[in-house]
Amino acid sequence: MKFWEIGKRNLKEIYRNPVLLGFLLGMPLAFMLVFCAAAGGGQASPIAMSIVDEDHSQTSSAFIQNLGGIEAIELNEPIYSEKSQAQEDLEDGRISLYLFIPSGFEEATQAQQAINLELAYKEADPMIGLQLKPIIEAVGSEFLGVVPPLNVELKGTESKIKNMAVNFYFPGIAIFGLMILVSTAAEIIAGDREKGFLARMFTTPARPWDFILGYSLPFIPVLIISTLIYLGVGMALGLTVVGNLGHAFLIFFLIGLCSIGIGMIVGSLVKSESQAGVSWLFIVPIAMISGAWFSVERMPSAIKSVAGALPFIHAIDASRAVLNGSSFSAIILDIYWIVGWAVVLFAVGIVLFRRTMVS
């Protein structure tokens, strides 16, 4: 268990270094405090939303009632019966967004078929619509799961989401925070290389995976504590966890492993601690295109493809979905994708590390 000895050494080097430890654990706290405060804490105003009901059925009315029960949404009166009227009002700026319930909604519900709702919003303010989209999807999923539709009642599940902004921002911010492990892990390896400590260790009979595991190990408690801080501060400042908190934790943990894996690769490639700073050149762009701060829906398809190939967007989407009530089976493909990336990143890290052991 040589990796264990190397890991213990690195853990001691971290927790005995108050500046580094303060950065690693204090940063998530400060980060989440600032962003949740910026997102309105627990007192955000509800978003005014109009409805176009072309179905005019009991089911559509019940669904609208459900939506009206959510604190974060304020339904505008009256309910439109024609889409063109609502579109005109939207274009004229009289309303900010509307939800279109097409005719055939009740029939589709009874037949348990997929229903496509349309959420139209002002081009100038896409965030409103994007923030509402997952909430409405969560309400819709819950609603459509109830048969027969006449039995629909306000269950209050949806109204648990007190602050949509916090629920929207939280996953992205938390995952961006965990991406900081990339640079920290890379800097620690590069620092040891620069000081010659790694060269000294390379003269011992330790294998490349001993080093990769040994340098990753100390970040596991950091990752767990950081995630707990994110979740704790987020919930204290208005994050509503409708789904399974454990599933959300798992997603954050796995994406944290990916960040550490990238850090191992960068640390294997760079020669000095200052060079490890190069990791920021891709951390910020990746966070941006992965939807950490805003949705990727309106990005060019090429960028969306790049983001989709990476693990971060999957983690952000999956954690948003889980926090808003999605089941584990709904995010399983995202989980597989993230786990796959973690395995590949660590394997590449070991291969690169092997190359650096003899120059």
Partner 1 sequence: MNAVQTFKLTKRFDGLVAVNGVDLEINKGELFSLLGPNGAGKTTTIRMLCCLLKPTRGTASVLGYDVVKTPFAVKKLIGVSPQDTILSERLNCWENLALIGKVHGLSYDEVARRSKELLETMGLMERSKDQVRKFSGGMKRRLSIAMALVSDPQVLFLDEPTLGLDPQARRTIWEYIAALKGKKTILLTTHYMEEADFLSDRIGIIDEGRVVALGTSQELKTNLFEMRSMVVTAENITAEVIADLQSKYSRLEMAKGRLKIYHKDLDFKGIVDYLHSRGVTVHSAALEQPTLEDVFIQITGKKLRD
> What is the binding site for partner 1 (CB under 8 A)?
2, 5-6, 8-9, 12-13, 16-17, 195-197, 199-207, 210, 357-359
* CB distance 54 to 103 below 8 Å: yes
Of 323, 178, 316, nearest to 258 by C-alpha is: 178
In the bound state with partner 1, the residue whose beta carbon lies nearer, of 197 and 282, is 197
In angstroms, what is the minimal distance from the CB of 225 to partner 1?
19
In angstroms, what is the minimal distance from the CB of 38 to partner 1?
36
In angstroms, what is the minimal distance from the CB of 200 to partner 1?
5
In the bound state with partner 1, the residue whose beta carbon lies nearer, of 184 and 324, is 184
In the bound state with partner 1, the residue whose beta carbon lies nearer, of 195 and 298, is 195
Classified as helix, coil or strand, 218 is coil
In angstroms, what is the minimal distance from the CB of 4 to partner 1?
8
In angstroms, what is the minimal distance from the CB of 204 to partner 1?
5
* CB distance 252 to 230 below 8 Å: yes
In the bound state with partner 1, the residue whose beta carbon lies nearer, of 155 and 354, is 354
- Residue at 35: amino acid letter: F
In the bound state with partner 1, the residue whose beta carbon lies nearer, of 96 and 356, is 356
Of 170, 142, 134, 64, nearest to 324 by C-alpha is: 134
In the bound state with partner 1, the residue whose beta carbon lies nearer, of 15 and 328, is 15
In angstroms, what is the minimal distance from the CB of 190 to partner 1?
15
- Residue at 351: amino acid letter: V
Compute CA distances 54 → 102, 107, 108, whole Å: 5, 13, 14
**Which tokens hold the place of 341?**
């990336």
Q: State the Cα–Cα distance between residues 110 and 336, nearest whole angstrom.
A: 33
**Which tokens hold the place of 124?**
């100038």
User: Which residues are within 8 A (CB) of 49 and not within 5 positions of it... i.e. 6 or more apart?
Assistant: 67, 73, 74, 75, 76, 96, 97, 98, 99, 132
